[in-house]
Structure 1
Amino acid sequence: MSQARGGNGGRPKRPTMVDVAREAGVALRTVSRVVNNDPTVGPEYLAKVEAAIAALNYHPDERARQLRTGVAGTIGAAVRRIAEVNPELAAIERTARASGLTLLAASTDFDEAREREILISMCRQRLDGIIVEPFGENHGYLQPELEAGMPLVAMDRPMSGISVDCVMSDNAAGIGMAFHHLHQHGHRRIAYIGDSERVYSGRDRAAAFRAALGAHGEPVEGLVHPGDISAERVAAALDTALHGPDPATALVTGNMDSTLAVLRCLGPEAASRLAIVGFDEVPLADLLQPALTVVAQETSKIGQTAVELLRARMADPARPVQTVIVPVTLKVRGSGEVKA
């Protein structure tokens, strides 16, 4: 077996197609056809080239293939967090892998400047497409990338300032389910504590809760508390909602972080006496006393749909922009059934 050597006689250099052609005793073009899965290569030549590839431990130059075809076989995902369990990201990776795509993921960590930096970097790497769990208030800076043909899909909320495909949960229906469930159990003073309205989902869910109050003839004042998720802010909201002259007897929390902050602030004993329905599944929710009733998102479906939308956009850049709304489910476990 021949072996390619470095010019200084030291460490062997990475074998090339020229080396494979020499080892197999065939033309360079034949090696290229085998590497690119050309079905017209005769079985005799195919066997020779494959044997030479195995003998030299040859691997095609991925960068050269990308330059030749213009296809990287890699998509990006910019999500808010990857340092914790992220079922949507797991679904993206699983669906991408099944489609023959490699995933490059990065965490924006709820930082608008970092989100912009990551997205611009991904665009410059000429990935085949990017899935974004957007946080920033304006993504207009990506318009030139869209016009240059970069496929983008928003997940969990739309991107602002540009028009791209989007997949997200039915926020309004989920809040309506939570409110109606508590109302059915006799609660008339129901409060809401959720995420900041700077965030699309926080704004959407708070608006849906205000609409539910209005539809039942209930006042909004003192019952709707969106804002940044901090222990101090959540404690103040709970004090207003639960200790005023006409205290709430039930609570809807707007996302997982809100739910966890509320439970920590209340403590086990107070939480067990208050009817609570959380938006988003919460780890170990079934181990609480009572177990936590939640509006569960189909996170795997959202991640899978995001990849499907991206692949459709990659295949047909001119297709109409599409928004997919994924249904949510009320999981009744006990905390939302505490009577008024």
Structure 2
Amino acid sequence: MSHAQGGGNAGARVKRPTMVDVAREAGVALRTVSRVVNNDPTVGPEYVAKVKAAITALNFRPDERARQLRTGVTGTIGAAVRRIAETNPALAAIEQTARSAGLTLLASSTDFDESRERDILVSMCRQRLDGIVVEPFGESHSYLEPELEAGVPVVTMDRPMSGLPVDCVMSDNAAGIGMAFHHLYQHGHRRIAYLGDSERVFSGRERAAAFRTALVAHGQPVSGLVHPGDITAERVAAALDAVLQGPNPATALVTGNPDTTIAVLRRLGPQAASRLAIVAFDDVPLADLLQPALTVIAQDTATIGRTAVELLCARIADPSRPVQSVVLPVSLTARGSGEVPVPATSSAATL
């Protein structure tokens, strides 16, 4: 094996300075260095100045792993969100609020996959993070019961965890759907249909139920107008065929979440979509650039993310506090699609 000439230690890992080196440089006891590093207010200012000068001279960095083992506090929280490959206002708000609280964020995407969600959450628990914010997707999270009993703080966004007593922040699903239905009804529509997420999902179940309630309250038939389910191109196409074909087609549509909205718009195409009144639950990218622009029930996603971290910090500070569920209001943003009038003929959105 050949060796590089000169500098026999070239490429060797440089030994980091330790608190022993700092103590030697500052001319103080090792215990004094430890107290300064840990912000002990009882250390005299002259010793603080000596230690800090030595830290600067040596470029010393405290060993975070040792501090974590000693205190049991990592200064890190986890966020398991459904998607981070695109702009995520909730995640941005989580990161900003966490940073303001002196916390580092470790985020991972579950990609709407129940087994991946479980792997991520179990891994975060094993890393002994200070707490976890999660957008739960799976139907069961019973595997987290031992972690909750061990004191791991968990807060959910968008929906609660079935059967587990954890803090939660979400939007007012029922009010939002009622708002969307009423808006379309006010514009003369009487055949209003709903396409949304699977009712296995809490928010999908709440929104579909709220739509059925709105139909009944307005004296409209429920049969054939409510279509929750998995968000696939095939399922959405079949649901649209069901509500838009036949002698008495729907003239207006409420979509239950952004993925459903995008699938519906792709299936309809720009011409058919422009002839159908649509109100979407939650905004989608470039919604204001569609023709007509998309009317939406707007969630305050940034406030959801910020509130989730605030709840988590409160839970970390007081593990015995009562479990809290925060429901945030939504608002209707009228841009044009929800104001499309009832067509003169019933074939306005024929596919």
Q: What range is the shorter-chain TM-score in? A: over 0.9
Please state how far the C-alpha of 1:8 moved relative to its aligned partner: 12
Residue pairs, 1:121-160, within 5 angstroms = 121-160=123-162
How many angstroms apart in 1 are the aligned matches of 2:320 and 2:48?
Answer: 39
1:9–1:101 Cα change, 3 Å: closer
**Cα deviation, residue 163, structure 1:** 1.2
- Matched with 1:98 is 100
Partner of residue 249, structure 1 = 251
Equivalent residue letter for 2:322: P
The one-letter code of the counterpart of 1:104 is L
Q: Which residue of 1 aligns with 2:4?
A: none
Shift of 1:15: 0.9
- Residue aligned with 2:240, SS: helix
3-state SS, counterpart of residue 207 of structure 1: helix
Matched, 1:276 2:272: no
Within the candidate set 206, 209, 216, 2:208 is matched to 206
Q: 1:249 to 1:72 in 2, by over 3 A?
A: same
1:13 counterpart SS class = coil
2:287 aligned residue: 285
The 5 A counterparts of 1:109-120 are 109-120=111-122
d(CA) in 2 for partners of 1:229, 1:301: 26
CA distance in 2, matches of 1:182, 1:133: 30
Q: What is the correspondence of 1:255-334 to structure 2 with a 5 Å cutoff?
A: 255-334=257-336
Aligned counterpart in structure 1 of residue 174 of structure 2, from 172, 175, 178? 172
The CA distance in 2 between the partners of 1:26 and 1:207, in whole Å, is 69
Which residue number corresponds to residue 4 of structure 1?
none
1:202 partner letter: G
CA distance in 2, matches of 1:9, 1:296: 56
Corresponding residue of 2:220: 218
Tell me how far 1:10 sits from its aligned partner. 4.8
Aligned residue runs from structure 1 range 54-73, under 5 A: 54-73=56-75
Q: 1:274 to 1:8 in 2, by over 3 A?
A: closer
- In structure 1, the residue matched to 2:337 is 335
| Alpha-carbon distance in 1 for matches of 2:86, 2:50 | 48
Task: After TM superposition, give the deviation of residue 245 of structure 1 in Å.
Answer: 2.0
User: Partners in 1 of 2:308 and 2:70 — Cα distance?
Assistant: 28
TM-score (ref. length: structure 2): 0.93
Superposed displacement of residue 14, structure 1: 1.1
Q: List, as ranges, runs of 4+ consecutive aligned residues in structure 1 with deviation greater than 4 Å.
A: 7-10
Separation in 1, partners of 2:20, 2:31: 10
Question: What residue ranges of structure 1 are gaps of 5+ in the alignment?
Answer: 1-6
What is the CA–CA distance in structure 2 between the aligned matches of 1:8 and 1:333, rounded to whole Å?
A: 65
Q: CA deviation at 1:43?
A: 2.3
Partner SS for 1:77: strand
In structure 2, relative to structure 1, the CA distance for the partners of 1:9 and 1:217 (3 Å cut) is: closer
Q: Which amino acid aligns with 2:249?
A: P
Amino acid aligned to 1:185: H
Measured in 2, the distance between the counterparts of 1:306 and 1:244 equals 46
Paired-residue identity, %:
81
SS across alignment from 2:242: helix
Q: CA deviation at 1:231?
A: 1.3
Looking at structure 1, the residues matched to 209 and 13 of structure 2 have their Cα atoms a distance apart, in angstroms, of: 65
Rounded Cα–Cα distance in structure 2 between residues aligned with 1:180 and 1:282 = 21
CA–CA distance in structure 2, aligned partners of residues 60 and 52 of structure 1? 13
Q: Does 1:14 align with 2:16?
A: yes
Distance 2:335 2:262 in 1: 17
Counterpart Cα distance in 2 of 1:47 and 1:12: 27
Q: Which residue of 2 aligns with 1:236?
A: 238
Q: Which amino acid is 1:135 matched to?
A: F
Aligned-residue offset at 1:313 = 0.7
- Normalised by the size of structure 1, how large is the TM-score? 0.96
Aligned residue among 48, 51, 57 for 2:50: 48
Provide, for residues 250-289 of structure 1, a one-character-per-residue CA deviation record: whole Å limited to 9, x for no partner: 0000011111111111111111111000001111111111
Aligned residues: 334
Root mean square deviation, CA, Å: 1.4
Amino acid at match of 1:144: P
In 1, the alpha carbon distance for the partners of 2:74 and 2:25 equals 29
After superposition, what is the alpha-carbon deviation per residue over 1:101-144, rounded to whole angstroms, capped at 9, x for unaligned? 11111111111111111111111111111111000111111111
SS in 1 for 2:247: coil
Give the SS at the match of 1:325: strand
Unaligned runs of 5+ in 2: 1-8, 343-351
